[in-house]
Structure 1
Amino acid sequence: MTHALHSPRLSAGFRIVDLFAGPGGLDIAATVMGLKSIGVEWDDATRATREAAGLLTTKEKDVALLSPCDGQVEGANVLTGGPPCQSFSVAGNRKGHKALEDVKRLATRLVGHKELSSFQTAWKTVKAETDKMSDERTGLVLQPLRWIMEAELTEEKERYDVVVLEQVPTVLPVWKHYAELLKEVGYAADAHVLHAEEFGVPQTRRRAVLIAQWDPKNVGRRVEFPSATHQRYSKGATRLRKQPASEHDQEELLFPTPRKAKLPVEPWVAMRDVLTERPRDFEVVSNYGSGGDPKNRGRRTSDQPAATITGKVRRNRVFLLKETKFGTKEIGEELERLTFEEAGLLQSFPKRYPWRSTDVAQQIGNAIPPLLSLHILSSALRLGPPSEELINKLAAWEPKHSDDAADEVLTADA
């Protein structure tokens, strides 16, 4: 079995398997960090994008049909993943809340087994129950826990040194529950909500993130999350260099920042900073969350981060902002809607990212921002904050396709 991570390790020592990998938001961050990574992805269109980007993807598309002992992934010592979130995106209502509680209840059954056969029996009963749920995707959030426990109990497979899971903020109670369960088997673990714009992503997006590190002698220690590097956006706020929220302000927040921010933080990155081929002053009008009421449409000007990029990003309308003789701004003519390349930039993907196949907008909207991934991985692997050089390397990345990439595997000496 592997040993506890008592000190930072060399990047070459980490090998990642990324479940529900999407178009590569985490994998591309791992690539620029010099880490070996392979993704598991179901959707053929998304797999086409990964192939064009030269990212490793398992031949088997279904996470449920793979195991940690599969030849393509058995060398991995880091497990990451972002299971589908549709079952929990309405956690405020009865169905969404029940889905969260069901997952927590079933997850508890999967921990505490001393033998693989006992765990496999428990997994069969859990799977039978999830198969009967109204939304079959609900059970997918249990797959990372299955992988962790199988790796823990299989003699031929080393356990995972590090686990990183991410999802929408409503899944935070599940990640918190997972953290407590993982402490029982030897991991120091915790979960918090991170704000993407606080890490230089030109978009407001919140993600519930779990980090677990194998450390059986010190499971109760604090798990360090990445420190904010940029100003958090709030409606009506002015873009300037300001200090992070005070302790009193933190108590007012629904999801308090779980770490001390470095001082001073940078201003948020605005849309105009990355959409440099557009006029300097413009406004993006979104239908997202408006319920069809024009009065409720979200509006962001180019000196602000974009609203959360979703699979409906092409529905957003873009207008030129013109200065009046009174020094104010008014709406001008309508401009071309956001391109896929621009939507990717707002997600912090490199400009030359090779989006492929159908439903590209959905691929982009479902992805975790690579720049946020860079900060999360650096913190989870205890490599220190990403350097400016590494961040610039991510922005400047271009694909170098390898014809034999699909045949590569994750070996311990890779």
Structure 2
Amino acid sequence: MTHAPHRSFPPADFHIVDLFAGPGGLDIAATIMGVKSIGVEWDDATRATRQAAGLRTATVKDVSDLGPGHPEVCEANVLTGGPPCQTFTVAGNREGHKALKDVQRLAERMGGHADWASFSEAWAEVKAETDAMSDPRTGLVLQPLRWVMEAKLRYGRPYRSILLEQVPTVIPVWRVYAAILESAGYTADAQILRTEEFGVPQTRRRAVLIARWGKDAEVTFPRPTHQHYRQGAVRIEGEERPSQDSIPGMSDNHPAPRGWVAMRDVLSNRTGSLANRPEDFVVVSNYGSGGNPKARGRRTSDQPAATVTGKVRRNRVFRLKGGKIGEELERLSFEEAGLLQSFPADYPWQSTDVAQQIGNAIPPRLSLHILSSALGLEQPGPELFDKLVAWKRPERMSSLVPVARVYAEAH
């Protein structure tokens, strides 16, 4: 893995099309970086959140009905996306394992084509097979590859950079993608990154693919800025730092990571929070631990949150007193769930399915890191993270009262 990305083009030279864009976890990062972006998103409630946040969204909702030549997205020279992952999150089961194998096999059929006619014929066969699958979402993970090949073979305008992210079980698919992209003229790599290592107050693992046009291009991944969380570990405090010799890849030129960002760092003593949290609390997960539904996972306020999902409101929150569980507190609000995903506190969540929007999103703070790497820019500095925290919804949207807030206050 290569670190320390170099600067190639200024942000203004880039224009992103973000497939399966969700509520804007990547688009907000792009906006803060000064990079133009337009998202493609099919869900109406999520589109409403994007509109309230002032993000550009294509009028055509389905990525399958669009392509690189469409007037709304034809100026894009960077492709990003996070295809739906529901059929792969059960990869330990027979169905999930088969879905992964099917996608790898079909992706390989999409590679190695020298002209548009040849690729079109292969794509027609792939599409017919995915359309016949019991879960049509399985084939959506192939759409970014279709866009990449169409941009190059049909329009002669290969994307400068490609950035894709998914659940960790999809890493084998991304590695097949990387091989196909390299045969098509890109330099590509795929790695699994941990969100808490980049300042997100939540543990979440993501499979990330980065590709850049050109055989001599340099593909880099961001260097962790924060401590890795593991059960039983103690957070680094103050000026204490682990020995650089104990951290692979570290040198005198690269400072050791800071301690992880804990839940209390973003939730406690907040002005205007729906539930002003004390310093010491514990979140009891809705999910069992180790396959035992009675062994509920727990995270204390000095730890990062467990992975935020669409069922985040089911988690219970209790005050901690002397290390013992006290009275039950209000459950996590949508605003708080968004903060644990590193969204700004003022993010204007819309509709009543907000928990699902938040759970499906890529954390904006992670997006700042991986997008900088994908564009060949320097690793983001403190000023960008300050802008993310201070972000406010556009003035023209300030009169909107997010349905998410109304719902949370009523429950």
User: If the length of structure 1 is used for normalisation, what is the TM-score?
Assistant: 0.88
Alpha carbons of structure 1 residues 296 and 322: separation in structure 2 relative to 1, 3 Å: same
Partner of 1:84: 84
Q: In the alignment, does 2:350 pair up with 1:356?
A: yes
Q: In the alignment, does 2:340 pair up with 1:341?
A: no
Partner of 2:73: 73
Query: What percentage of residue pairs aligned between the two structures are identical?
Result: 66
8 Å CA contact 1:193, 1:207 repeated in 2: yes
| Gap regions ≥5 residues in structure 2 | 269-275, 398-411
Partner of 1:309: 308
Q: Does the residue aligned with 2:294 lie in a helix, a strand or coil?
A: helix
Partner of 1:122: 122
Q: Does the residue aligned with 1:319 lie in a helix, a strand or coil?
A: strand
Q: In the alignment, does 2:157 pair up with 1:163?
A: no
* Pairing partner for 1:388 from 382, 390, 401: 382
Partner of 2:94: 94
Deviations 1:305-329 (CA, angstroms, capped at 9, x unpaired): 0000000000000000012xxxxx1
- CA offset at residue 200 of structure 1? 0.3
Q: In the alignment, does 2:227 pair up with 1:227?
A: no
* Pairing partner for 2:258 from 255, 266, 271: 266
Alpha carbons of structure 1 residues 114 and 340: separation in structure 2 relative to 1, 3 Å: same
Q: In the alignment, does 2:397 pair up with 1:398?
A: no
CA distance in 1, matches of 2:243, 2:86: 32
Deviations 1:40-82 (CA, angstroms, capped at 9, x unpaired): 0010000000000000000000000001100000000000000
Alpha carbons of structure 1 residues 295 and 179: separation in structure 2 relative to 1, 3 Å: same
Alpha carbons of structure 1 residues 337 and 189: separation in structure 2 relative to 1, 3 Å: same
Which region of structure 1 is more displaced relative to structure 2, 170-179 or 5-14? 5-14
Code of the residue aligned with 1:35 in structure 2: it is V
Q: Does the residue aligned with 1:96 lie in a helix, a strand or coil?
A: helix
8 Å CA contact 2:282, 2:299 repeated in 1: yes
CA distance in 2, matches of 1:15, 1:260: 33
Deviations 1:344-370 (CA, angstroms, capped at 9, x unpaired): 000000000000012000000000000
Alpha carbons of structure 1 residues 125 and 101: separation in structure 2 relative to 1, 3 Å: same
- CA offset at residue 293 of structure 1? 4.8
Which region of structure 1 is more displaced relative to structure 2, 107-116 or 126-135? 107-116
Alpha carbons of structure 1 residues 99 and 400: separation in structure 2 relative to 1, 3 Å: same
- CA offset at residue 295 of structure 1? 3.5
**How many residues are paired up?**
381
Code of the residue aligned with 1:270 in structure 2: it is A
- CA offset at residue 288 of structure 1? 2.2
8 Å CA contact 1:40, 1:61 repeated in 2: yes
Alpha carbons of structure 1 residues 294 and 181: separation in structure 2 relative to 1, 3 Å: closer
Alpha carbons of structure 1 residues 49 and 8: separation in structure 2 relative to 1, 3 Å: same
Partner of 2:64: 64
- CA offset at residue 83 of structure 1? 0.3
Code of the residue aligned with 1:183 in structure 2: it is E
Code of the residue aligned with 1:282 in structure 2: it is F
Partner of 1:409: none
- CA offset at residue 402 of structure 1? 5.8
- CA offset at residue 204 of structure 1? 0.2
- CA offset at residue 98 of structure 1? 1.5
8 Å CA contact 2:317, 2:331 repeated in 1: yes
- CA offset at residue 97 of structure 1? 1.6
Q: Does the residue aligned with 1:374 lie in a helix, a strand or coil?
A: helix
Partner of 1:412: none
Code of the residue aligned with 1:31 in structure 2: it is T
Alpha carbons of structure 1 residues 83 and 322: separation in structure 2 relative to 1, 3 Å: same
User: If the length of structure 2 is used for normalisation, what is the TM-score?
Assistant: 0.89
Code of the residue aligned with 1:379 in structure 2: it is S
CA distance in 1, matches of 2:245, 2:303: 22
Alpha carbons of structure 1 residues 6 and 239: separation in structure 2 relative to 1, 3 Å: closer
Following TM superposition, where does structure 1 have runs of at least 4 consecutive aligned residues deviating by more than 4 angstroms? Answer: 244-247, 289-294
Code of the residue aligned with 1:307 in structure 2: it is A
- CA offset at residue 286 of structure 1? 0.5
Alpha carbons of structure 1 residues 198 and 292: separation in structure 2 relative to 1, 3 Å: closer
Alpha carbons of structure 1 residues 173 and 285: separation in structure 2 relative to 1, 3 Å: same
Deviations 1:157-201 (CA, angstroms, capped at 9, x unpaired): 521000000000000010011001100011110000000000000
Partner of 2:320: 321
CA distance in 2, matches of 1:204, 1:21: 21
- CA offset at residue 100 of structure 1? 1.1
8 Å CA contact 1:81, 1:164 repeated in 2: yes
Partner of 2:272: none
Alpha carbons of structure 1 residues 6 and 292: separation in structure 2 relative to 1, 3 Å: closer
Q: Does the residue aligned with 1:126 lie in a helix, a strand or coil?
A: helix
Alpha carbons of structure 1 residues 286 and 7: separation in structure 2 relative to 1, 3 Å: closer
Alpha carbons of structure 1 residues 289 and 201: separation in structure 2 relative to 1, 3 Å: same
CA distance in 1, matches of 2:291, 2:226: 33
Partner of 2:409: none
